[in-house]
Structure 1
Amino acid sequence: MRMVHVPKDLAPPADWLTKAAAASAALNNAKTKDERDALIEAKQAIWRDDRIRNWLLGLFHNKCWYSEAQEAVSAYHVDHFRPKGQVTDVGRINPEPGYWWLAFDWENYRICGQLINVKKNDVFPLINGHRATPNDTNSMKLEAPALLDPTTEDARLISFDMDEDGCRAVPTGGADEEDCARVMTTIEVIGLNRLDRLNSKRAQVWQDCREKLASYAAASGEPPALKRLHRALMITELKKRVAYESELSSVAEACIRKNGSELVCSQVFG
């Protein structure tokens, strides 16, 4: 998974922010849960608005923030990372009130492929059970979600590897026991390995990188000038594969780091 960069000096379109702020104010003034639920239902067009959706899509070059796939897998949704309705643990058990006060907060939004968003649904388990509350601004900082957030360094905890079922998400080498547990929870909750089409797309990227690495190694038997030219071309192609804007660039990075020589890695990532 590649971390999504959300520049701190940028914000969604001003006219959308005005509408979202008004909805949030009304939400905070609602007296009962029924009033809040009705308002969220009535104002759901706010997070479905093309203005915010397209702005969020542009932050990650039209890729799903969780799978890093460009939509050959499913349609895009604007996902509430912290669910706005009820929240449940893995297995959709132990329902609790959700993060209703974040319903119109763009910083809680993530671009998500439809099939992944449907699988995630309202599941949002915590490690220590302490859940944030709307009246304590510091409570969010004390919360320890089990799900990895693609807008944070959490994303680096997921890597990829090949097996008989294709290219699958796995914990990054060196991750400790707690982090590995978070990775496995995330893979289960959002279904990172359940879509054959996604596994196949990742496998194609992996195989392409393996072929380029093999081509780089095979150039050792060529005349010096041709060898330099051939290897420079392969490095250029591999750099394109791991570029931030490229689809499934994190898969390409995992393949190169696991299969490339130290020399190749220094040229691609140096």
Structure 2
Amino acid sequence: MIFIHIPTPPNLPTHWNKIYLGRIAKVRELTTQELRSTYIKSHGSWGRLKKWLSMLSCDKCWYCEAKSTRAPFDVDHFRPKLGITIDRVGLTGHDGYYWLAYEWWNFRLSCQRCNRPEKSEAGTNYGKSNEFPIQDEAQRCSLPEQDLNREFPKLLDPCVQADTELLAHGIDGEVKPTASLGTWEFQRARYTIDLLGFNEWNTPEIKRNAWRVLDDLIRCAGNQPAVISHLQEHLSTNHEYAGFFRAAIGTHRDKPWVEGLL
């Protein structure tokens, strides 16, 4: 997971404000969940921000940092817009965060593997979909006027730097929690890894195979211009899984020339 910094004010497309004002005004007029749901489903204007969201992450999924292997992308609503599930069971009495359906700061660029529900051959469910548990259900917001800051989501948020630091990369290609076992921080990291399937769908193997080539270059070729150029390419923020490669290349920090690249 990469930290996504969105400048304030955001450099939104020029046409977005007009669309947003019209959509959110209409949602506020509708008095039932059925009417709101019908309107929102037929007016998915957030897709107009997909290019902007993609530019913020160098065309990578904000959650898993994939480009081609887990794409194409969806615009995920971090707080689900039309209903909430916890362990795939609908949360009774909650209509979702419908008032956030068009708020740009609730959008996260997500590959389909991270966002859409998918069941493995073993029967395990992956994908965020409408999953959104919080630490204390009594603090759940259900109305626009309530304070979202009182909620503590279990899912890690790529827009919160402290959340992204709860995940680490092993040279085996797997994503792992950094916090101590039994802590809320560990629970959040483990939950995010498992829900989004970070270590599934051959993703660790893809990373390992790419790392073996780089590892051999560092060990066998050493401090050569071509090697340095290759490492810099993988360390670049726009490279797929750059977080993993930075951690893997960091295992050679004992070499001054490698340390100088990090």
TM-score bin, normalised by smaller chain: 0.7 to 0.9
Indicate if the aligned counterparts of 2:166 and 2:189 stay in contact, CA closer than 8 A: yes
Indicate if the aligned counterparts of 1:89 and 1:123 stay in contact, CA closer than 8 A: yes
Indicate if the aligned counterparts of 2:3 and 2:158 stay in contact, CA closer than 8 A: yes
Match of residue 190, structure 1, among 188, 191, 196: 196
1:62 aligns with 2:59: yes
Aligned counterparts of 1:176 and 1:261: Cα–Cα separation in 2: 33
1:134 aligns with 2:143: yes
Aligned counterparts of 2:7 and 2:220: Cα–Cα separation in 1: 38
Which 4+ residue blocks in structure 1 deviate beyond 6 angstroms?
173-176
Aligned counterparts of 1:261 and 1:29: Cα–Cα separation in 2: 63
Indicate if the aligned counterparts of 1:81 and 1:109 stay in contact, CA closer than 8 A: yes
Larger Rg: 1
Q: Which has the higher helix share?
A: 1
Match of residue 101, structure 2, among 92, 100, 103: 103
Match of residue 82, structure 2, among 80, 85, 100: 85
RMSD across aligned positions (CA): 2.4
Instruction: Look up the match of 1:211.
Output: 216
Q: Aligned-pair distance for 1:74?
A: 3.1
Indicate if the aligned counterparts of 2:83 and 2:90 stay in contact, CA closer than 8 A: no
How many residue pairs match? The answer is 249
Task: Give the secondary structure class of the aligned counterpart of 1:255.
Answer: helix
- The runs of 5 or more residues in structure 1 that have no matched partner are 220-228
Indicate if the aligned counterparts of 1:87 and 1:98 stay in contact, CA closer than 8 A: yes
Task: Give the secondary structure class of the aligned counterpart of 1:159.
Answer: strand
Task: Give the secondary structure class of the aligned counterpart of 2:170.
Answer: strand
1:33 aligns with 2:42: no
Instruction: Look up the match of 2:164.
Output: 155
Indicate if the aligned counterparts of 1:66 and 1:112 stay in contact, CA closer than 8 A: yes
Specify whether residues 205 and 180 from structure 1 end up closer, same or farther in structure 2 by C-alpha distance, changes over 3 A only: farther
Q: What does the per-residue CA deviation read over 1:55-107, in whole Å, with 9 as the maximum and x for residues that have no partner?
A: 11111111111111112323211111111011111343544331111111111
- The runs of 5 or more residues in structure 2 that have no matched partner are 117-126
Specify whether residues 209 and 179 from structure 1 end up closer, same or farther in structure 2 by C-alpha distance, changes over 3 A only: farther
Indicate if the aligned counterparts of 1:209 and 1:255 stay in contact, CA closer than 8 A: no
Match of residue 238, structure 1, among 231, 235, 246: 231
Q: What is the identity, as a one-letter code, of the residue corresponding to 1:132? A: C
Instruction: Look up the match of 1:225.
Output: none
Aligned counterparts of 1:20 and 1:123: Cα–Cα separation in 2: 25
TM-score of the pair, normalised by structure 1: 0.82
Taking only the aligned residue pairs, the percentage that are identical comes to 25
Instruction: Look up the match of 2:177.
Output: 171
Aligned counterparts of 2:181 and 2:8: Cα–Cα separation in 1: 28
Q: What does the per-residue CA deviation read over 1:102-161, in whole Å, with 9 as the maximum and x for residues that have no partner?
A: 111111111111122112110011112222343335x11121001011121111211222
Indicate if the aligned counterparts of 1:205 and 1:251 stay in contact, CA closer than 8 A: no
Task: Give the secondary structure class of the aligned counterpart of 1:107.
Answer: helix
User: Bigger shift: 83-92 or 183-192?
Assistant: 83-92
Q: What does the per-residue CA deviation read over 1:3-45, in whole Å, with 9 as the maximum and x for residues that have no partner?
A: 122222433212122112210111112222222112212212x
